[in-house]
Structure 1
Amino acid sequence: MKRIIGLAATIVVVALILGLWLSTGTGDSIAAKSAAKLGLSPAFGPYIFPVFGGLYLLLVSLSKHGWPEGDGLSRGVSKSRMPMVMGLLFGPLLALLLQTYSGLQQFDLIDKNGMMMGLAILDVLFFLFMGNYMTTVTWQSRIGFRSPWTMKSEQVWVKSHRILGRGLVVISFLALVLLAFMDPKTVIFVHIGTIIGLKLVVYLNSYHLWRKARLQSA
């Protein structure tokens, strides 16, 4: 339950920050002033906060997981190293997104509705990827859906992640279809709300699965 509340709180905070940055121009103003204080061109403004955020996530990931073993990127990305990879990519990618939107706005090639549509598409595609990923997570992996009962039984873990992964794929696919008929902002809120509800259902179902397995083994 704490993880569900934490996820919901994180989504709300990120949504508020992005909304403030993209819709009011406050974020751009603060970033431009910060760039000026650092002696940088105002054009670098949108990159400042996301890049520092990415570096912070990278440092946190390295402190927890250490440097990856093997021959660099040739060994592929281990699931246990995903937090470090996310830390590496999050800052620059978000900065690039904000910079692109800022440039398109200046040339009147995109408006706020276009921004919301872009964010909605990114949101849906991200959870489509996560849904597919969740069906492959190994037992007690660092990245996975954890409850007191999934941690006690590998069988409960596998079944819970299968339900969660497939649920995310179905919900995200339906959200992608709804983007053709509904306002992007509405789709984002409905999509995120449905995902939180799905996680709550999977959390409660993991207890049911664990209890059922325990009774069968008795």
Structure 2
Amino acid sequence: MIMPNKHRIFGLALVALALLLGIIVYQQLPQQMPTHWNIDGQIDGRMAKPLGAFLLPLCALLTLIIFELIVRFSPKGYRVDAFTHVVGIIQNVTIAFLLVIYLTQILIALGYNISMERVVLLGVAGLFLLLGNYMGKLRMNFFIGIRTPWTLANEEVWNRTHRIGGWSFVAGGIAILIAALVSAPIAWLVAIIIATSLVPVAYSFWLYKRLQGFN
């Protein structure tokens, strides 16, 4: 099975636009590109322009390749054939998130006063909201989703956990959006992500124990 063409083309178009942007503004960029921000939103890491100017588009391209390989080489019994459309959406949402961060990085490097902290919060909120809406459509596989020992051992546990996980991610996205709007510190993002992730993991353990036990 291969990724549907519309998702592959859209993903490639996003990457191409990002690379084109980097090429257009390359001469205006500083020799040391900002590439890392600390928990207070201050730049604390830089990288030489030749790599720093294109690192995130290259990461986006790598993401595209990884998703293509996942679709092509999933083992029998765990194929993603039935939901390649959902996989394609997740692929392109992830790429779009990386490119929003990239655009912000470029603008900051050009001297614009933009809060990377705020952009990350808003971006992660959008990512969680979109992923939450599609999580319940993922079927058992080894690569994408909430892969715990208990979800991979029982299809019912997988399906029910992903429905709960979808609600958890939507709730987490709303919480992160509120955190962004009230200018909460980035530590809030970390706490919300941990809580959002732990809910479906704990649920999968509880549900597996309830359905099958450990004897």
TMscore range, shorter length: 0.5 to 0.7
Is 1:49 the counterpart of 2:67? The answer is no
Q: In 1, distance between residues paired with 2:134 and 2:111?
A: 33
Residue 163 and residue 142 in structure 1: after superposition, are their counterparts in 2 closer, same or farther (change >3 A)? same
Instruction: Provide the residue aligned with 1:23 in structure 2.
Output: 43
Contact 2:100 2:123 in 1 (8 A): no
Task: Tell me the secondary structure at the aligned position of residue 43 of structure 2.
Answer: helix
The alignment partner of 1:26 has SS state of strand
Tell whether 2:104 aligns with 1:97: yes
Cα shift at 1:95? 3.1
1:31-46 correspondence runs (5 A): 31=49, 34=50, 46=53
Partner AA of 2:46 in structure 1: T
Contact 1:160 1:206 in 2 (8 A): yes
Q: Percent identity, aligned pairs only?
A: 21
CA–CA separation in structure 2 for the residues paired with 1:149 and 1:192:
25
What is the CA distance between 1:98 and its match in structure 2? 2.0
**Is this contact kept in 1: 2:56–2:98, CA < 8 A?**
yes
Deviations 1:146-199 (A, max 9, x none): 11111122221122112221112112212322333343xx1x322332322342
The question of whether the paired residues in 2 share the 8 Å contact of 1:61 and 1:87 is answered with no
Higher helix share: 1
SS in structure 2 opposite 1:151?
Answer: coil
TM-score (norm 1): 0.61
Give the unaligned 5+ runs of structure 2.
1-33, 74-82
Asked whether 1:79 is paired with 2:86, we answer yes
Q: Is the 8 A contact 1:56 1:87 kept in 2?
A: no
* 2:197 corresponds to: 199
Which residue of the partner structure matches residue 12 of structure 1? none
Superposed CA offset, 1:198-218 (max 9, x none)? 423422321221121126xxx
Change (3 A) 1:166 1:59: closer
| CA-based RMSD | 3.5
- Provide Cα deviations, 1:73-95, integer angstroms capped at 9, x if missing partner: xxx96234467646865665543
Aligned to 2:16: none
Q: Deviations over 1:1-54 (max 9, x none)?
A: xxxxxxxxxxxxxxx953179725723xx11xx27xxxxxxxxx62x2122323
Alpha-carbon distance change, 175 to 192 in structure 1, aligned in 2, over 3 angstroms: same
Higher radius of gyration, 1 or 2: 1
| Distance verdict in 2 for CA 1:130–1:157, change over 3 Å | same
**Residue equivalent to 2:151:** 150
Q: Tell me how far 1:145 sits from its aligned partner.
A: 0.2
Are 1:212 and 2:210 counterparts? yes
After TM superposition, what 4+ stretches of structure 1 lie above 6 angstroms from structure 2? none
Q: What residue number does 1:169 align with?
A: 170
Query: What residue in structure 1 maps to residue 22 of structure 2?
Result: none
**Higher share of residues assigned strand:** 2
TM-score, length-scaled by structure 2 = 0.61
Sort the Cα spacing of 1:97 and 1:195 in 2 relative to 1 into closer, same or farther, 3 A. same
Report the Cα distance in structure 2 between the residues aligned to 1:170 and 1:64, rounded to whole angstroms: 28
Deviation by residue 1:99-149 (Cα, 9 ceiling, x = unmatched): 2333461xxxx24xx332122111211111122221222233731101111
